Amino acid sequence: EIVMTQSPATLSVSPGERATLSCRASQSISSNLAWYQQKPGLGPRLLIYGASTRATGISARFSGSGSGTEFTLTISSLQSEDFAVYYCQQYNNWPPTFGQGTKVEIK
């Protein structure tokens, strides 16, 4: 099973600033990586798939990059609605596995 490691666990950012979240896979997953946003009491919301393709309706301030084992989610200018937990997920191998999440909080 592929292990996904996210860093940092918590990221404190001021509104309007840029946030950079990292995700590392225990072995190469090509570009088979997705990012999700989750707010309390809700299911995750798909942001990015294929490492860099935004899902339908997702703001351009969200961007993904990387391939192989190292991936990054960048939020260019944090808005109030962006404060949440973010998960990466690999789907190169079965079963799909998730990172432990990065909580983006208001600084």
Task: Give the residues lining the site for other proteins (CB under 8 A).
Answer: 34, 41-46, 49, 55-56, 87, 89, 91, 94-101
Nearer of residues 76 and 100 to other proteins, judged by Cβ: 100
Tell me the C-alpha distance between 94 and 107, whole Å. Answer: 38
DSSP code of 55?
P
At its nearest, how many Å lie between other proteins and the CB of residue 83?
A: 19
By beta-carbon proximity to other proteins, the closer residue of 83 and 91 is 91
Residue 27 C-beta: closest distance to other proteins, Å: 17
Q: What order do you get walking across the sheet with 19-25 strand by strand?
A: 4-7, 19-25, 70-75, 62-67
CA-based diameter of the chain, in Å? Answer: 38
Q: Which residue's CB is nearer to other proteins, number 66 or number 99?
A: 99
Please report how close the Cβ of residue 103 comes to other proteins at its closest, in angstroms. 12
The answer to whether 76 and 19 are in contact (CB under 8 A) is no
**Shortest Cβ 3–other proteins spacing (Å):** 11
Nearer to other proteins, 66 or 101 (CB): 101
Quickly tell me which residue has 């600033």 as its tokens. 17
Query: Cα separation of 70 and 27, whole Å?
Result: 10
